């Protein structure tokens, strides 16, 4: 049976989901992931040793960053959500210890991959008492040597929980699913969070994914960020916003990228309801601007809440990634998780992530390695900032478009084949289809596609599949 905590967390997501003072620095946020490789692989629940091993593959296949689970001590339990109930700021979790974390960061750096770590600035645990995975004892509002009762909000609603998601005060001072809500306006709390974050910076992280960022006022986060010892890090903020009153996602763009949850919803609706043609106007929907949006097809909450996931039929999950990694909107994250029948289920295989060449093993899905998704990471890197071109469609479930004269994709989300002449804008020649394989020397491991006079003439794309070609995969 689904836990009360998870039920509350998923419901929330659907409605919105003692240190010395540190010196202040000018805030300089990285806008989009820095460097030439921007795509983030979210290796959900992988432990530090397995991420260290996987980073070599990530770097070789075009990923620039890996997002990992929170590093701090948390409550005990096998469920995935225990990672998000902080107990202390010791670098000790189900994923490993401080030495293993540092080794992971160094291994990833050596592979050209930056580590973005999930941080919990909003809250502590959501249970009455216990001990953490590193042995620290606590009660709901007392964490010895760290926080006491005066360091938390008590908003006065029943159970101090959020009752009205349109009420800014409740969203930012009441408890999210019973999680003890920190007084982030307090200098003591801020300095404690700064000390923890600085420790992670010392260990070499490239950025932070701020969990439950919507529940912390922007002003409080600006103060925290300004005190960190290193500026120019990448931030992506979890701000669940689908429109309407209350706290909005656009408020957070001054402190980093913001996760655009309306994109996740649109991917589900477009690919499951048979109208991917509506995606043509994505840049004109009044959402976050492309340079401020972090987009993804799924995350750990959404895949458990009826959105697209590895369980989706007819290649919908893979096809949505073809779109996400080819359409010029946002900085993309590829979520990579594990098989589950119970929404609470934690990671398999003792938390050690394992993959085959293009699929998961030992209970892991390894979506980041799926042939079509991995191939599209190379497509994304190759087309860069090239503009959208040559948009065409068949029925509402069939679209094709180019990225300048560098790349071209065809997405057939319909059950029937789509046959027509496609104007690609690419130079004549033979290309490897990176959805079905890759270029390997002078051959393709998947399909090959021949462009003549800039076109694919009378070309047929089977149902529930895609074709993607770019100049980096030309024979």
- CA dist 349 and 155 (Å) reads 41
Q: What is the DSSP string of 260-289?
A: -HHHHHHHHHHHHTT-GGGGGGGGGSS-S-
H or E element that contains 5 = helix 4-15
Residues sharing a CB contact under 8 Å with residue 274, sequence separation 6 or more, in sequence order:
396, 397, 413, 414
- CA dist 433 and 422 (Å) reads 15
Q: How many CB atoms lie within 10 A of CB 281?
A: 8
- Catalytically annotated residue among 118, 211, 257, 260: 211
- Strand-pair partners of 150: none
Structure tokens of 391?
Answer: 């948009």
Structure tokens of 442?
Answer: 């002078």
Q: How many CB atoms lie within 10 A of CB 390?
A: 18
- CA dist 92 and 170 (Å) reads 32
Q: Are 176 and 144 in contact (CB under 8 A)?
A: no
Q: How far apart are the first and last CA of the chain?
A: 53
Strands (E), 114-214: 114-119, 129-131, 137-139, 207-210
The answer to whether residue 175 is catalytic is: no
The answer to whether residue 211 is catalytic is: yes
Burial of 345 (0-12, 13-18, 19+ CB in 10 A): middle
- Catalytically annotated residue among 238, 260, 301, 414: 238
- CA dist 402 and 389 (Å) reads 5
Residues shown for the chain: 475
Known catalytic residues are: 211, 238
């Amino acid at each position: 049976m689904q836990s009360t905590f998870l039920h509350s967390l998923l419901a929330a997501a659907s409605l919105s989901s003692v240190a010395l003072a540190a010196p202040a620095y000018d805030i300089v946020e990285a806008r989009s992931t820095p460097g030439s490789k921007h795509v983030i692989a979210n290796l959900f629940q992988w432990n530090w040793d397995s991420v260290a091993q996987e980073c070599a593959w990530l770097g070789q296949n075009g990923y620039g960053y890996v997002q990992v689970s929170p590093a701090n001590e948390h409550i005990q339990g096998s469920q995935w959500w225990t990672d998000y109930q902080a107990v202390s700021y010791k670098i000790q979790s189900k994923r490993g210890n401080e030495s293993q974390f540092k080794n992971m960061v160094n291994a990833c750096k050596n592979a050209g991959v930056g580590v973005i770590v999930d941080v919990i600035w909003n809250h502590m645990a959501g249970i009455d008492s216990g001990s953490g995975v590193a042995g620290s004892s606590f009660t709901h509002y007392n964490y010895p040597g760290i926080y006491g009762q005066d360091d938390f909000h008590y908003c006065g609603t029943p159970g101090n929980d959020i009752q009205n998601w349109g009420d800014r005060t409740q969203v930012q001072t009441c408890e999210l699913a019973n999680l003890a809500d920190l007084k982030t306006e307090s200098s003591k709390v801020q300095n404690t969070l700064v000390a923890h974050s600085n420790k992670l910076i010392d260990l070499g992280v490239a950025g932070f994914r701020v969990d439950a960022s919507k529940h912390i006022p922007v002003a409080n986060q600006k103060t925290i960020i300004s005190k960190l010892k290193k500026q120019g890090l990448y931030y992506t903020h979890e701000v669940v916003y689908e429109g309407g009153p209350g706290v909005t996602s656009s408020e957070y763009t001054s402190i980093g990228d913001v996760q655009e949850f309306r994109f996740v919803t649109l991917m589900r609706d477009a690919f499951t309801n048979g109208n991917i043609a509506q995606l043509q106007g994505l840049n004109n929907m009044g959402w976050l601007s492309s340079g401020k949006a972090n987009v993804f097809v799924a995350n750990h909450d959404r895949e458990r809440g009826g959105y697209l996931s590895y369980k989706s039929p007819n290649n919908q999950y893979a096809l949505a990634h073809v779109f996400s990694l080819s359409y010029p909107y946002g900085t993309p994250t590829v979520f990579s998780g594990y098989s589950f029948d119970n929404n609470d289920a934690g990671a398999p295989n003792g938390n050690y992530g394992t993959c085959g060449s293009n699929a998961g093993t030992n209970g892991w899905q390894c979506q980041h390695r799926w042939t079509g998704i991995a191939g599209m990471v190379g497509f994304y890197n190759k087309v860069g900032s090239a503009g959208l071109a040559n948009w065409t469609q068949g029925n509402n479930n069939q679209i094709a478009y180019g990225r300048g004269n560098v790349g071209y994709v065809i997405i057939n989300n319909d059950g029937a084949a789509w046959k027509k002449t496609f104007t690609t804008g690419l130079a004549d020649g033979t290309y490897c289809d990176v959805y079905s394989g890759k270029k390997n020397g002078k051959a393709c491991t998947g399909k090959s596609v021949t462009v003549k006079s800039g076109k694919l003439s009378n070309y047929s794309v089977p149902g529930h599949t895609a074709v993607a070609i770019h100049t980096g995969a030309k024979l």
